[in-house]
Structure 1
Amino acid sequence: MTAPGSELTLGILGGGQLAQMLALAAIPLGVRVTVLEPDPQAPARLCARHLCAPYTDPAGLDELAACDAVTLEFENIPVEALAALEGRVPVRPAGSLLARSKHRAREKQALREAGAVTAPFEVIEDEGDLHGALDRVGGRGILKTSELGYDGKGQARVNTDAGLRAAWDALGRVPCVLEGFVAFEREVSLGVARSPDGQVAFGPLVENVHRDGILRTSVFPAQVPHGTPAAARDMARAVADAWGLEGLMTLEFFVLPGGQLLVNEVAPRVHNSGHLTQDGGGISQFEAQVRAVLGLPLTDWAPLLPCAMVNVVGVDGPDGQPLTPDWAAIDALSGTRVHLYHKAHRHGRKVGHVNLVAPDADTLHERLASLEPLVP
């Protein structure tokens, strides 16, 4: 196994804020990072070598193929790019895992095959699949496109057959998954990393709250029954082993009354809910992904202190002008640390986050109550 400081190189497909934070975590380990990203204003350009070219650019892919390993910061990488790298450089997670996790129907089927529990679901690929599908998932559900949906996009709630048909029409009659409605108590997430030699490590179980389909706050520790974190780790390990994970992935769960867990979605990368690990003590999820991808020694990355994250999302006011967080008041709060992505304002776009740390859970929730009104 390689040790830090040995001048390793890491390629990243994508150059957004996740790539930026991966690169920042790699630098102290002596790892040089190159990102392939067509956006000339990519956030990662500030701390990594930026190849400004399409993801399928042959010259750019040649540069990545010269790295020790390649990882990714988002799922929607063209399959042509992954095919061009296959056999030339380790891509972690592998393209086969990416193909599974980016397609909701394949993902849910593979989760069940790995022993994980999911909500009831039906695959909708043609008009004939609509007949009786809503009854089979319990009479209420959420129709989601099988690919490309994120942050609440590409989905619709349905509770009648007519509503299901109308929703499928509105989504463009593309392949979808109809998920049965789940009366969950809370949403949580957990990261799992696995190195090429099979070493496994876990992040914290984080409690998440969404607003308008976008993650608003994440809090550690999650308020769940005593055995729930261990159950989440067991399920995450089973999926990581069954899928042959090399790198890091994040599982999102619904917690049912009594603590039972259902896997909702899987992201084959670091996750928005794990940003709080940057400031809670210990290593961050970003360092964990770098370590797993390059075969460096792994350790669990749960924070040492209670911590939380509030997303900063572009919001337009009634006059159409951007609403700005009260940065001075945020800076004045104890335990806060601001992380900005150097992205231009756009309504609904994630442009940063604020992490918050406290010595105990009660103080954390008091500080969080003071922080939330300062962020639109």
Structure 2
Amino acid sequence: MLALAALPLGVRVTVLEPDEHAPARLCARHLHAPYTDPAALNELAACDAVTLEFENVPVEALAALQDRVPVRPGGALLARSKHRAHEKRALQGAGATTAPFEAIEADTDLPGALARVGGRGILKTSELGYDGKGQARVNSDAELRAAWENLGRVPCVLEGLVSFEREVSLAVARTPAGQVAFGPLVENVHRDGILRSSVFPAQVPDGTEARARELARAVADAWALEGLITLEFFQLPGGDLIVNEVAPRVHNSGHLTQDGGGVSQFEAQVRAVLNLPLSDWRPLHPTAMVNVVGVDGPDGSPLTPDWAAIDALDGTRVHLYHKAHRHGRKVGHVNLVAPDPGTLRARLASLEPLIP
């Protein structure tokens, strides 16, 4: 989707991806090699700039490109955002509030940790976990120890549970010249640890979006951002925001910007990375997104969305990723546009039952 957004700007994209079936091969030059392959990295170094679509890239790959080609966001930001403990400390250093947390890296870190975060929490691997993977909810010291054993005794972060009204996200882009622009504040709903739907505009108290922008700008400046990052927030009763995590890239919740009119998040990232003129991007109309996730039926066969009914709904547009089916894997999304927020919510209620 980044490559598709780059083409109208006269930009050709080269993608380094170990999967021979990488979907981007359909619209970009595909370097089929490991992320750390020297020959492939040499070819990336010949580009005008390098950016990220996926945070589980070895930091060593970006280190090999350092001082050879602009990497936006850079290796230091990637290393910070892909490690939960480092990320939370850096967010606090930028002036943002996070959930209470404890780093769990050895047996000696377990005693008293749950009490220090409020008595209930979620243990998450410090690296590699996403879409609900690599985490477990814990309510006692015994559950915490068992969860750490089950996660392989790897470095983890124990986050205290936060009582919140809704989850929202907002992206910020910053060019090498220091120009900053923001995406829309989007309201998100998760199911089984995976983003199910996103809606714009978010139903939040007055001032919430302004506060989200303030925090996003503070993080972008403190982290010397070049490129685009997305901040995920918990909105507390009354409107206060806690930063849950940061993605060093375009985000699933921003996919709705493809079809609401105006600039998409993908074009915004391309513009920021290449130091092109940049402005705020947000849909011109109320817009929603529903993820299409691989789901296995009782007999093990894939459950398929009702595509005919989806196409018959006003305002829908389907985006499929050309990925093989796998249970729990995001294989596409459906965007939905409506003339007003009420109509959007009604159409969304009709759309969601059509997607397993």
TM class, shorter-length: over 0.9
What's the secondary structure of 1:301's corresponding residue? coil
1:213 maps to amino acid = G
RMSD: 0.6
- Give, in angstroms, the shift of residue 347 of structure 1: 0.7
- Give, in angstroms, the shift of residue 84 of structure 1: 1.1
2:92 maps to amino acid = R
> Counterpart of 1:53?
33
> Counterpart of 1:371?
351
- Give, in angstroms, the shift of residue 279 of structure 1: 0.3
1:170 maps to amino acid = N
> Counterpart of 1:354?
334
> Counterpart of 2:105?
125
> Counterpart of 1:141?
121
- Give, in angstroms, the shift of residue 364 of structure 1: 0.2
> Counterpart of 1:226?
206
Using the size of structure 2 for normalisation, the TM-score is 0.99
- Give, in angstroms, the shift of residue 80 of structure 1: 2.1
> Counterpart of 1:13?
none
Q: 2:53 aligns with which of 65, 73, 90?
A: 73
Query: Equivalent residues in 2 for 1:251-262 (5 A)?
Result: 251-262=231-242
What's the secondary structure of 1:274's corresponding residue? helix
What's the secondary structure of 2:202's corresponding residue? coil
Distance in 1 (CA, whole Å) between partners of 2:58 and 2:174 is 24
1:18-52, Cα deviation, whole Å (9 max, x unpaired): xxx00000000000100011111110000001111
What's the secondary structure of 2:352's corresponding residue? helix
Distance in 2 (CA, whole Å) between partners of 1:33 and 1:221 is 32
Query: Equivalent residues in 2 for 1:129-278 (5 A)?
Result: 129-278=109-258
Distance in 2 (CA, whole Å) between partners of 1:323 and 1:344 is 13
Query: Equivalent residues in 2 for 1:287-326 (5 A)?
Result: 287-326=267-306
1:247 maps to amino acid = G
Is 2:290–2:333's contact at 8 Å kept on the other side of the alignment?
yes
What's the secondary structure of 1:283's corresponding residue? coil
1:155-195, Cα deviation, whole Å (9 max, x unpaired): 11111111111111111111111111101110000000000
- Give, in angstroms, the shift of residue 76 of structure 1: 1.2
2:25 maps to amino acid = R
Distance in 2 (CA, whole Å) between partners of 1:322 and 1:276 is 25
- Give, in angstroms, the shift of residue 53 of structure 1: 1.1
Query: Equivalent residues in 2 for 1:43-122 (5 A)?
Result: 43-122=23-102
Distance in 1 (CA, whole Å) between partners of 2:144 and 2:296 is 32
- Give, in angstroms, the shift of residue 103 of structure 1: 0.1
> Counterpart of 1:29?
9
What's the secondary structure of 1:72's corresponding residue? coil
For structure 1, the residue ranges without an aligned partner over 5 or more in a row are 1-20
Distance in 1 (CA, whole Å) between partners of 2:248 and 2:305 is 31
1:28 maps to amino acid = P
Moved over 4 A (4+): none
- Give, in angstroms, the shift of residue 72 of structure 1: 1.0
% identical aligned pairs:
85
Distance in 2 (CA, whole Å) between partners of 1:83 and 1:202 is 28
1:320 maps to amino acid = G
Distance in 2 (CA, whole Å) between partners of 1:296 and 1:183 is 41
For structure 2, the residue ranges without an aligned partner over 5 or more in a row are none
Distance in 2 (CA, whole Å) between partners of 1:231 and 1:107 is 20
What's the secondary structure of 2:13's corresponding residue? strand
What's the secondary structure of 1:151's corresponding residue? coil
Distance in 1 (CA, whole Å) between partners of 2:300 and 2:119 is 40
Using the size of structure 1 for normalisation, the TM-score is 0.94
Is 2:59–2:78's contact at 8 Å kept on the other side of the alignment?
no
